[in-house]
Structure 1
Amino acid sequence: MSFLISISRLKKRLENKQNNTVIVDVRFQLNDPDAGRKVYLEDHIPGAIYMDLKKDLSGKVEKHGGNHPLPDMNMFANKIGNIGIDHHTTVVIYDQSNDMFAARMWWLLHYLGHKKVYVLEGGYERWVSEGNEVTDEIPALETKEFHPVFQEDQVVHIEEVKEKMSDNKAVLLDSRGKDRYLGKSEPMYAKAGHIPGAKNFVWKDVLNEDGSWKKDDQLKSHFSSLSKDDEIIVSCGSGVSACPNVLALKAIGYKNVRLYPGSYSDWISYDENEVETKEE
């Protein structure tokens, strides 16, 4: 898949001392927000810099906007410049395995118009399992200037979601697990179910049983019920687990794919918004 980079390809970049590469560690646990930074400090891929879902890849939680709203994007652009990224930099992002947090940062950089962004296939888990070097050394940072080129057409907010759904102008995907989509369980929010009209495409279904990303032909089969002519809005609980679906759809040629960052947690923050619990 075009947005992935293999362990061997990353190793070659490092061995050839290609200085225009920045590696970003985004390991995170939703039930323990400090866990990702702690494991990074214990060991990480040599040269990797840590970015935190809550502190770097999300903004301040308000009454509306969802549980992981987008960060202030100008501030985020400054942050990535401060860790050595400009538009000439190849960025490699890794998670513990193939998880949602790497895809979240991939999407943020995509939104800022950065082209050379890859998710490490298999993540840190595979890097270690193949016997590659790790370190606890924190790299020195080389500050650069990153000039964002905002891709405003990549994001959609609640009023537009309502408008598009009421007029059947878009297809809305819910990337959460089936039980949460159907309202059978809800570990995080006060109201269970999904946004009316949303179709369930669980984000983990873009991965094989062994946790590897599905190949393009498998993804084409998985998303075959969706037309490339349709506008596709991708949501989840709070705009994080939707990102693997966005990445996968774009990888196989879906052009009109947009993220609803607030997602279900934003939707239910408005008392008047109804939720559904049946399959759609």
Structure 2
Amino acid sequence: MGLHSGASHPSLTPAVVSSAWLHENLDRPDIAIADCRFALEDPQLGKRQYQAGHIPGAVHFDLNDDLSAPPQRYGGRHPLPAPDAFARTLAVAGISSGVSSAAEQPTWVIAYDDSRCAFAARFWWLLRYLGHTRVSVLDGGWRRWQAAGYPLTTEVPTPKSGTFVPHPQPEMVVDYEWVQSRQTSPESVLIDSRTGDRYRGDYEPIDPIAGHIPGALNYPWLDVTDDQGQVRSPEAQANRWSQVRSADDVIVYCGSGVTACVNLLSMYLAGLPQSRLYAGSWSDWCSYMDPRDRP
């Protein structure tokens, strides 16, 4: 039917929907579309791509401007946005949480990118973190939509007036102190989502220090999808996490808390219990290793 559900969440909103499904449901009044295209090496690229063409009705959400707060001395390169500020951004995009009146239905939001879910998964996780579970990722993203020959537009939707009331779920996120206190606990598993060369410290293109948090296991985020950006089946996701399924506490991180969300999406599809995001990730962790902090 063109939908992926979490293995243990069949009655809930599917975590992944197909281009065919979105095309068939494009005109539904309860659906909103989030274009999350972005490039770390060229922060303006996503905006230019959106202006050049996007899925009809889609609103662009920028990683730096919308899906993150401004970076500080600590907290990593992409801190989580302030809930109230992000809620206002969602409301202007016509996204409603559905709690302002009994008759209002929560908006079903479909997020896509052109980076194998890297930024769409961040959006998916952020909405769930704010208590809005009616959100999905578009399988194959922009590439799949284009390849299918579905409609494109350069028209920018006029601002809307949704009502989004955030309900943050603090149990979904941890900070440096939490990770430091749990990293040697036998009940906890720490997952590094970066590519193997960055995990090993062979290569570090962004952060000032190479390596990984001691004790972390490496599950690269790119393994969640195939080379075409298609999300692998729930069965494949479940097999991928078979070694950590029984862990009581799973903490996931990456470079700055963005691509770790692709692994969190994978875990959801696999039917694992909710894992936690170390939002600051390696960029936060290594900030405490800075020589300026040493006596």
Decide: shared fold, TM above 0.5.
Answer: yes
Shift of residue 192, structure 1, vs aligned partner: 0.7
2:72 pairs with 1:65: no
Indicate the residue corresponding to 2:65 in structure 1: 55
The 1-side partners of 2:221 and 2:197 are apart by: 13
Matches within 5 A, 1:1-280: 1-2=4-5, 3-14=15-26, 17-87=27-97, 88-271=106-289
Letter in 2 for 1:34: Q
How many pairs are equivalent? 271
The 2-side partners of 1:165 and 1:195 are apart by: 8
The 1-side partners of 2:207 and 2:93 are apart by: 35
1:126 counterpart SS class: helix
Shift of residue 150, structure 1, vs aligned partner: 1.4
The percentage of aligned residue pairs carrying the same residue is 42
Whether the 8 Å contact between 1:228 and 1:256 is mirrored in structure 2 is no
The 1-side partners of 2:214 and 2:116 are apart by: 29
Whether the 8 Å contact between 1:103 and 1:119 is mirrored in structure 2 is yes
The 2-side partners of 1:161 and 1:129 are apart by: 42
Shift of residue 209, structure 1, vs aligned partner: 3.8
2:111 counterpart SS class: strand
Shift of residue 216, structure 1, vs aligned partner: 1.0
Shift of residue 167, structure 1, vs aligned partner: 2.9
Indicate the residue corresponding to 1:276 in structure 2: none
The 2-side partners of 1:97 and 1:178 are apart by: 18
Change (3 A) 1:29 1:272: closer
Per-residue deviation, residues 80-132 of structure 1 (Å, max 9, x unmatched): 01211112101000101523000000000010011110100111111111111
Per-residue deviation, residues 15-72 of structure 1 (Å, max 9, x unmatched): xx31111101010010000000011011101111001000000111111100111111
Misfit runs of 4+, over 4 Å: none
The 2-side partners of 1:66 and 1:118 are apart by: 26
